[in-house]
Amino acid sequence: MHNRFIANHLPTGEFVVIGVSGGPDSLCLLHLARQIPNLDIIVAHFDHQLRPEANQEAEFVRRVAEQMKLPFVTESADVRGYAEEHKLSLEESARTLRYRFLFAQARAHRASVVAVGHTADDQVETILMHFLRGAGLAGLKGMAGRTSLTEFDREIPLVRPILHLWRHETEAYCREHNLQPVHDPSNTDETYFRNRLRHSLIPELEKYNLRFKNTLLRTAEALAGDYETLTDAVDSVWPKVVLKADADYVAFRSSVMEEIPRGLRRNIFRRAMESLRPNMRNLDFNTLERASNFVEARTRTLMPDLVPRQVDLTDGLYLYREGDAIYLAALEADLPSAHWPLMEGVYDLQINGQVNLNENFFLSAFEVDVETARQFAHENGDSFVAWLDADLTGDRFTVRTRRAGDVFSPLGMNRQTVKLREFFINVKLPRRARAGWPLVCAGEQIVWVPGFRLAHPFRVTEKTKRVLKLILQPS
């Protein structure tokens, strides 16, 4: 029965890399896999350099591979040093370097899968670890028999063929087949979180329910089914809620996100965060809840303009609100600005001429019929078109970006001035766009802020005799 189950995870006629530590679990897996016809196996052993006897274990696995007439590959790395350098726990550092090695070998040998010897006991411990750290369905469903670890390889899957076996079964199998596994003494060291669960917490919980581990596995199986349903729901709503997804950010439609149930919204954020940080593990409920609360913040207050536009989350990720967009972004992200007419430097704009502000936008100016202009100037609904009194502005403009102390007299304010900085805030121009936003000036006076407002003193009136029309448009 075990061989049939394992054969379902290991494709015959192809290469498979099996991670073998030398312990009973991985040795049991290797021995069972060896019995599957037409399966080409590569035995891979990773030395974590954490214990003096590590070299002996590598030599033991090499001898086992020789006895089974299987190719053997090994590698070692300073797990402790890597953990200190990257501020990781020893467990996380060991996992990263071990899987990096296994998948590198799989690519080198053109293997179709990487197989490891996780058991049902490992599953119980993993679920408990996730529960105590505050995981949602994604963590409480436990490990899958087949999964993709995209942070290591996007094409080669990881399989766990003996996830249905308990540790005592793998040990009994080794005794029955005269296999003599090595035993890692660090497995009894309770400074490690997993070992404390294994040797202290689980035995205590079994005092309340003798079949605690079986019960937890059944619960995880049920949650795995619920998680599949939830994943389908995320798949369905993702195209509606995501404006754009890039390597460094995911942009959401705020209005759509606000309408989505909180549970679904949290899982949309989970998917987005994992896409930006494939190496991120143990994403907890509190982080996802803070992200969900950020979406709802404007709908829960009578003063939405006072709601913070940004909140830091975890692992260098933050949320940033901009109009109807909410960006989940990495700190190193260069958020998109191609849809803005941002510029650098200073340009001269003459009548019947134009200037290119950037590769996507240009600004042009020309004189128009005064009677026609009066009509359109009063009906103008396009904030990227301006009608100006030419006798007041002159025939030459300077196009520049903001300067310290700039003031502006917006149309309708009857020559009252406001600080340009405050004007940008009031019209909700995103902070990151303000430094490069174009300003059309006559001399030292700002006559037009394209996209927002004309300056009141330069408007077209009944006394106007010459009219200039300015247009800012895409290239």
Output the average pLDDT for the chain: 89
Q: Are 207 and 214 in contact (CB under 8 A)?
A: no
How far apart, in whole angstroms, are the C-alpha atoms of residue 218 and residue 121? 13
pLDDT confidence bin for 304, thresholds 50/70/90: low
Give the pLDDT confidence of 77-125 residue by residue, as tens digits: 999 999 999 888 888 899 999 999 999 999 999 999 999 999 999 999 9
Q: What pLDDT does 1 receive?
A: 44
pLDDT, average across residues 364-383: 76
2-216, CATH topology level: Rossmann fold (3.40.50)
Give the pLDDT confidence of 199-236 residue by residue, as tens digits: 999 999 999 999 999 999 999 999 999 999 999 999 99
* CATH classification code of 347-474: 3.50.40.10
- DSSP output for 102-160: HHHHHHHTT-SEEE----HHHHHHHHHHHHHHT--HHHHT---SEE--TTT-SSSPEE-
pLDDT > 90 fraction of the chain, expressed in percent and rounded: 61
pLDDT at 404 over 70: yes
Could you tell me how far CA 181 lies from the centroid of its own chain? 40
Give the pLDDT confidence of 21-44 residue by residue, as tens digits: 999 999 999 999 999 888 999 999
Considering only residues 338 and 430, tell me which one the structure prediction assigns the higher pLDDT. Answer: 430
Give the pLDDT confidence of 139-174 residue by residue, as tens digits: 899 999 999 998 899 899 999 999 999 999 999 999
pLDDT confidence bin for 63, thresholds 50/70/90: very high
Domain extents in the chain: 2-216, 246-330, 347-474
Which of 264-273, 290-299, 370-379, 432-441 has the lowest average pLDDT?
370-379
Closest CA to 102 of 193, 225, 16, 229: 16
pLDDT confidence bin for 301, thresholds 50/70/90: low
Q: What pLDDT does 324 receive?
A: 80
How buried is residue 323: exposed, middle or buried, by Cβ count under 10 Å (0-12/13-18/19+)? exposed
Q: What pLDDT does 380 receive?
A: 61
pTM over 0.75: no
Give the pLDDT confidence of 306-328 residue by residue, as tens digits: 556 788 898 889 898 877 889 99
Which of 218-232, 266-280, 360-374, 398-412 has the lowest average pLDDT?
360-374
- The answer to whether domain 2-216 and domain 347-474 are alike in fold is no
pLDDT, average across residues 287-302: 82
246-330, CATH topology level: 3.30.465
Measured at the CA of 94, the angle between CA 88 and CA 99, to 5 degrees, comes to 115
Count other Cβ atoms within 10 Å, centred on residue 303.
7
